[in-house]
Structure 1
Amino acid sequence: LELIEYHNTNMASVLKAGTLKNYFTTERYLNKFLIQKLKIKDIYLKQLNYRFIIDFERFLRNYSPSSKRKALGNNGVMKHLERFKKMIHFAIKLEWLVKNPFGQFQLKFDRYDRQYLSERELELIENTYFNSQRLERVKDIFIFSCYTGLSYIDVKQLTVHQIVKGIDNNYWIYTKREKTNEVVKIPILPKALAIIDKYKVLSERIGSEMLLPLYSNQKTNCYLKEIAKVCKIHKNITFHVARHTFATTVLLSNGVPIETVSKLLGHTKLSTTQIYARVLEHKISEDILRVVILQVIVSIMVNNLLLLKHGKPIDLEMH
């Protein structure tokens, strides 16, 4: 545990607050594992081995939180092991540990498609007016993110000073991503600009430099579920879905090159952006399949009409 404390103390000035919070959560799980399963409060680094890792993995998979939180899924388990692995590498660099207990262990994350809104779903939310001020406000800021790709924390920290008129005479957002520290320059599309103008008066009235009024992330996601229900969209919509929608529906679907998408999202690696391209390929494949099925149905209908015309039995089978 001394290693964990030393790691977290030294990384406090390097890691973002959210990332550091995740390390503290991993530390709590390690504490529970030591006390509940191994019946000890601490362990020497030299005692860490492959068995310790797989036993800790099993503990994480079987752990049932006493609160209302769900049990950890596979990727949640892998994230904790990934953080623990980084701490072990830190110990090796410090020469506190010689043999790497993770040497034979492979992290296996489940691959999943990023949830995003289709063009029709996006229009549906845009064109729905909510009598509730809280829902209308959350809808507006969600749509703003759909057309800028900004994450919740980046929207929350957005100020009037980050809106700049470019050499093209259009307005741009100049910001730095909270997560990666990457500088991002995003052209403000007309729908996003309209939302800025809508809330500009409110910001000026309350004397706030913040551009848009946000509820907490938890409340925002809760209200988004209400919005999805009203719009009859059967997807688990969170604020982060807006960012995925920007990448997939607003940019890639309209032919924007993946390199440009990567820059607009503030990704440090192109491979991160390519996840969206795979999602788009999957969607295109489904769309083509629907066209093929439609052509088969039309072909059968035409064939049956011709048979009826000549007084022959109708073919009811699809070939």
Structure 2
Amino acid sequence: MNVYVNFFLRGGQSAAKDRKCAIYAEIHVEQTKATAFSTKLKVPPAYWMVSRNRTGIKPSTSDLPVSKSYPFSETLNEKLIAIKQFIIAAARDLELMDIEVSADRVKAQFFNPRPAIQTVNFLDVLDELRSVLGKKRKGSTMLTYRTRRNNIHEFLSANRLDSMKIHEFQYHDFEMLQAWMIDQRVTCKKSKTQVRRWGTNTINKHLTLINKVLNYGVNKKYLQYNPIGELGLEYEDTKPPQYLLPEARQRIANCELTTLEKERDVAVFLMHTGLSYTDYITLEEDHVLRLPSGEPFIKKPRDKSEIYSIVPLMHEAHAVIAKYGGICHLPRPDISDLNKALKMLGEVAKSPYSLSTSTFRETFSSMMENEFMVPDRLLMFMMGHTNPRQLRNYSRVMPARILHELRKHDIVIPFNLAAFESLFKAS
């Protein structure tokens, strides 16, 4: 993109009387119509350098169009240089935002100056946004925003940008953050090797938060425009749900290490209720109800969305409640301590996956779908979802479920079902 600025004088009668003439700027962008505007600066034409040795009112080709012999030449030239730099920078920012660059659009940027509020720190605006979002979202969600905020602060500190104002944030700062997060490494405890600190999807969530902060800043008039524009981020494919099969679940339940007893019981309870850990630690006696037939079930609004989860209380989960004398006495370890213990529990029980609370939620969903053939609509209510598509993030469909669906509908199947079933059994 080729952008350049010409300055010229306007006012023939004033020039004839040797009075000051207005200085105009003319913006030229390739393949678009040029546009001119007044810089609100004036100079006598006798001091206007059209070329190296000539004066007049025509466009100047000089980098310093006001002659040094004029008493205020230094101030005027500095202002003209600043105007030229602003125009070129504005055109570049429009291009980075994938907005078509034209002389009129660049001119509009010049006449929509940055607001007077230019002393707001970037991190302060981020915290302000978090405060606004916190009124609409649950605390568990806001914890992730706090973590991302701390990581962004770490980046700014590492680059001595702690005091950066929001209007100073540019596209190259966005790229620097992305490169910095990609380069960060930590030592894997198992392999003792250096691995990436953050995955691609996690990095993208940080970049999206940056974009949200800038858009919020525009709405609050802390800056003129968002220098980022469309993100166009590429995400990694989501990992398939982790489904602990009956044998793996039994090995976890049979773990006899007393140091892991409470964590094992939490794991068993979560595997047989599908509750997230946030919903588990806020579970109360009032959330357990009974059907007219006497069967107990859990009905609890999810802490994340306030949508109800309605879960039948299976024997294994009921046994854990009975062991501790009621829901109010269930163990509720700190999540960081629980995660450490679950890693050890997974090693002892020879789990095919590294155990986590999300693994138990995914196991419950997959178990309901594949072992008990629970229909999607019912499973959606159990998991506290409003859309069946959300189940795909938690449940893995196995061959047994496919065969069940084929038999259930009593339709003519255009292939040998028996052979198909034996193929599944072999796999």
Range class of TM-score, shorter chain: 0.7 to 0.9
CA positional deviation for 1:148: 0.7
1:157-179 per-position Cα deviation (integer Å, ceiling 9, x unaligned) = 21212111123431111212112
**Counterpart of 2:198 in 1: which secondary structure?**
coil
Identity of aligned residues (%): 21
Kindly indicate whether residue 232 of structure 2 is the aligned counterpart of residue 114 of structure 1. Answer: no
CA positional deviation for 1:281: 5.4
Query: Which residue is equivalent to 1:305?
Result: none
| Distance change in 2, residues 1:229/1:80 (3 Å) | same
1:210-241 per-position Cα deviation (integer Å, ceiling 9, x unaligned) = 24122222222222233322222232011221
TM-score by length of 2: 0.58
Quote the Cα distance in structure 1 between the aligned partners of 2:199 and 2:400.
26
Q: Is the 8 A contact 2:368 2:379 kept in 1?
A: no
| Distance change in 2, residues 1:51/1:257 (3 Å) | farther
**Counterpart of 1:117 in 2: which secondary structure?**
coil
Whose RCO is larger (CA < 8 A, sep 6+)?
Answer: 1
Query: Which residue is equivalent to 2:414?
Result: none
Give the number of the structure whose alpha-carbon radius of gyration is greater.
2
1:245-283 per-position Cα deviation (integer Å, ceiling 9, x unaligned) = 000123344321222222211124433212345x32599
Quote the Cα distance in structure 1 between the aligned partners of 2:224 and 2:292.
56
Moved more, 95-104 or 160-169: 95-104
Quote the Cα distance in structure 2 between the aligned partners of 1:274 and 1:186.
19
Q: Is the 8 A contact 1:253 1:280 kept in 2?
A: no
Moved more, 217-226 or 140-149: 217-226
* Higher share in strand: 2
Query: Which residue is equivalent to 1:247?
Result: 365
Kindly indicate whether residue 176 of structure 2 is the aligned counterpart of residue 55 of structure 1. Answer: yes
How do 1:79-158 and structure 2 match up within 5 A? 79-97=205-223, 99-110=225-236, 111-126=238-253, 128-132=254-258, 134-158=259-283
Amino acid of the structure 2 residue aligned with 1:187: P
1:102-152 per-position Cα deviation (integer Å, ceiling 9, x unaligned) = 4332233222112231122113323x15151x4233222211111110111
Unaligned runs of 5+ in 2: 1-121, 190-194, 403-418
Kindly indicate whether residue 357 of structure 2 is the aligned counterpart of residue 236 of structure 1. Answer: no
The match for 2:331 among 213, 229, 246 is 213
* Higher share in helix: 1
Q: Is the 8 A contact 1:35 1:41 kept in 2?
A: yes
CA positional deviation for 1:185: 1.8
Q: CA RMSD in A?
A: 3.3
Quote the Cα distance in structure 2 between the aligned partners of 1:212 and 1:51.
51
Quote the Cα distance in structure 1 between the aligned partners of 2:385 and 2:132.
26
Quote the Cα distance in structure 2 between the aligned partners of 1:51 and 1:249.
48
| Distance change in 2, residues 1:218/1:41 (3 Å) | closer
How do 1:299-318 and structure 2 match up within 5 A? none
CA positional deviation for 1:188: 1.0
How do 1:213-292 and structure 2 match up within 5 A? 213-277=331-395, 279-280=396-397, 292=423
Q: Is the 8 A contact 1:8 1:23 kept in 2?
A: yes
Q: Is the 8 A contact 1:155 1:212 kept in 2?
A: no
Q: Is the 8 A contact 2:299 2:309 kept in 1?
A: yes
Kindly indicate whether residue 289 of structure 2 is the aligned counterpart of residue 164 of structure 1. Answer: yes
Amino acid of the structure 2 residue aligned with 1:190: H
The match for 2:318 among 190, 193, 199 is 193
| Distance change in 2, residues 1:294/1:154 (3 Å) | closer
Quote the Cα distance in structure 1 between the aligned partners of 2:401 and 2:307.
31
Quote the Cα distance in structure 2 between the aligned partners of 1:251 and 1:293.
17
Quote the Cα distance in structure 2 between the aligned partners of 1:238 and 1:295.
30
Q: Is the 8 A contact 1:50 1:104 kept in 2?
A: no
| Distance change in 2, residues 1:290/1:130 (3 Å) | farther
1:5-29 per-position Cα deviation (integer Å, ceiling 9, x unaligned) = 2212333333333332332332333
TM-score by length of 1: 0.75
Query: Which residue is equivalent to 2:161?
Result: 40
Q: Is the 8 A contact 1:158 1:211 kept in 2?
A: no
Amino acid of the structure 2 residue aligned with 1:280: V
Unaligned runs of 5+ in 1: 204-208, 297-319
Quote the Cα distance in structure 2 between the aligned partners of 1:93 and 1:166.
51
Query: Which residue is equivalent to 1:312?
Result: none
Q: How many residues align?
A: 283
CA positional deviation for 1:51: 3.3
CA positional deviation for 1:95: 4.7
Quote the Cα distance in structure 1 between the aligned partners of 2:381 and 2:224.
40
Amino acid of the structure 2 residue aligned with 1:210: C
CA positional deviation for 1:78: 1.6
**Counterpart of 2:311 in 1: which secondary structure?**
strand
Quote the Cα distance in structure 2 between the aligned partners of 1:71 and 1:292.
41
Amino acid of the structure 1 residue aligned with 2:162: K
**Counterpart of 1:280 in 2: which secondary structure?**
coil
Query: Which residue is equivalent to 1:8?
Result: 130
| Distance change in 2, residues 1:168/1:108 (3 Å) | farther
Quote the Cα distance in structure 1 between the aligned partners of 2:217 and 2:421.
54
